[in-house]
Structure 1
Amino acid sequence: MDLPRQYAWLEREPGPRLLVEALKTYGTIEKPGAGSNPSILAWAKVTGLDRIYRSDATAWCGLWMAYVALQAGWDVPLNPLGARNWLAFGVPQQKPALGDVLVFWRGTSGGFNGHVGLYVGEDAQAFHVLGGNQSDRVMIKRIAKNRLLGARRCPWRINQPVAVRPVVLAANGALSTNEA
C-alpha cells in the first residue's frame, strides 16, 4: 500500500469497511495524456457508470467514491459522479469521524464544482482526506476545514464500528487548493 509514515497506522485499522475498501485503491494513478488507467475504467464498469464515464481525463473523485461505497456494501446517491451529490449519502454529521464521507466545494462555495473523499483525520486547519483524483491519484491530502460543505456517515444497520472516531493528526504538508 505504501502509505506515508504519518498515515501508516491506517493499515492496522479494522474498519469501518468503507475505509478498508478505499485503502485497497491507494496509489492508483490517472494515466497522463490521452490514455486512461484501466483500473479507473474498471471502476466505471463495476458501478454501472461506464456509459457516462469513459476517460480518466474527466474528474473521477465521485466515481472513486461510488466504487468504494459499492465494494463496502452501501448504496450510492443519484448521479454519484457529481461530488456534491454525495451530500445525499448516509446520515449528516456535525463532527466528522474516521471513514465519514466529506464533501467540499471547489472554485466557489455556491458553485457547481466539488470534491468528495473520506475522513482519515484532522488538524486545527484541515481535514486529512483519502480520495480519488487528488493530484491525479488516490492519496491523502489536507483540505481546509472552511471548504467543507458536509460530512456524511454510513447509515449503520446495526451498530456503528468502534473505529468510527475523531482522529487528531499533525499538520504536515501543504493545504490542497484544487483536487482535480
Structure 2
Amino acid sequence: MNNVLDIALEEYGVTEVVGKNHNPRILTYFKEIGHRWVTTDETAWCSAFANWVAFKAGCHKSGKLNARSWLKVGTKVKIPQQGDIVVFWREKRSSWKGHVGFFIGYSEDKKYIYVLGGNQNNQVNIKPYPTYRLLGFRSIKKTFKPILDAA
C-alpha cells in the first residue's frame, strides 16, 4: 500500500461532532494546510482532508478547499492506481460543487468507485460513489526526492 493510503487509513473513523462543539482533529486538517480561519467541522472538508493527507505524504496538493481544484493537481490518469485522487461532480456536472478522495477500486460491475475520503457521511471512511459522476483521476507524486544515506 502506498504512503497516501497509509496516512488516510490512520484517520479512518474521524467524525464530525454534532452540535456546537467541533472535532479538533478535523480542525487540525484545516490548520495544518494553512486554512486557520476555519473554526467549525461543519465547513465542507473533503478537500481539506485530501490536502492534509497529501501534505503529510509529501505529495502535490491543491491547497484549496473546493474538490474540483484537484482536477489541476498532479497528472491526469485514465487507469487509476490505489491512492490516486478521484474527483466527482455534485448536483450537476456543470456545478462548482464536487467531492474528492482517494481511489480504492471499482465495484465488480464498475458502476461504483470506492473512495477513501473525508466528509463522507461526515466522517473519514470508504464509500462507493456512482461512476457516472466521475470527473477525473489524478496521480499525485512526491514533491521531493528522499535524501539517501551517505554511507
Q: Assess same fold via TM > 0.5.
A: yes
Residue from 86, 96, 104 that aligns with 2:70 = 86
Q: For residues 17-48 of structure 1, what are the alpha-carbon distances to aligned partners after superposition, in whole Å with 9 as ceiling and x for unaligned?
A: 11111111111001112221000111111111
User: Which structure 2 residue ranges, 5 or more long, are not aligned?
Assistant: 145-151
Q: Secondary structure at the residue paired with 2:136?
A: strand
Residue from 10, 16, 35 that aligns with 1:49 = 35
- Matched-pair identity in %: 38
Shift in alpha-carbon separation, 1:78–1:44, aligned structure 2, 3 A:
closer
Q: For residues 40-64 of structure 1, what are the alpha-carbon distances to aligned partners after superposition, in whole Å with 9 as ceiling and x for unaligned?
A: 111111111112x221111100110
Residue from 105, 113, 116 that aligns with 1:130 = 116
- Runs (4+) off by over 2 Å: 155-158
Residue from 47, 51, 70 that aligns with 2:55 = 70
Q: 1:75, CA displacement in angstroms?
A: 3.0
User: Which structure 1 residue ranges, 5 or more long, are not aligned?
Assistant: 1-14, 159-180
TM-score, normalised by the number of residues in structure 1 = 0.75
Paired position in structure 2 for 1:28: 14
**Distance in 2 of aligned mates of 1:18 and 1:44:** 18
Paired position in structure 2 for 1:143: 129
Aligned-CA RMSD value: 1.5
Q: 1:155, CA displacement in angstroms?
A: 2.8
TM-score, normalised by the number of residues in structure 2 = 0.89
Q: Secondary structure at the residue paired with 1:108?
A: coil
Q: 1:84, CA displacement in angstroms?
A: 0.3
8 Å CA contact retained: 2:51, 2:63: no
Kindly indicate whether structure 1 or structure 2 has the higher relative contact order, using CA contacts under 8 Å at least 6 residues apart.
Answer: 2
Paired position in structure 2 for 1:61: 46
Size of the aligned set, in residue pairs, is 142
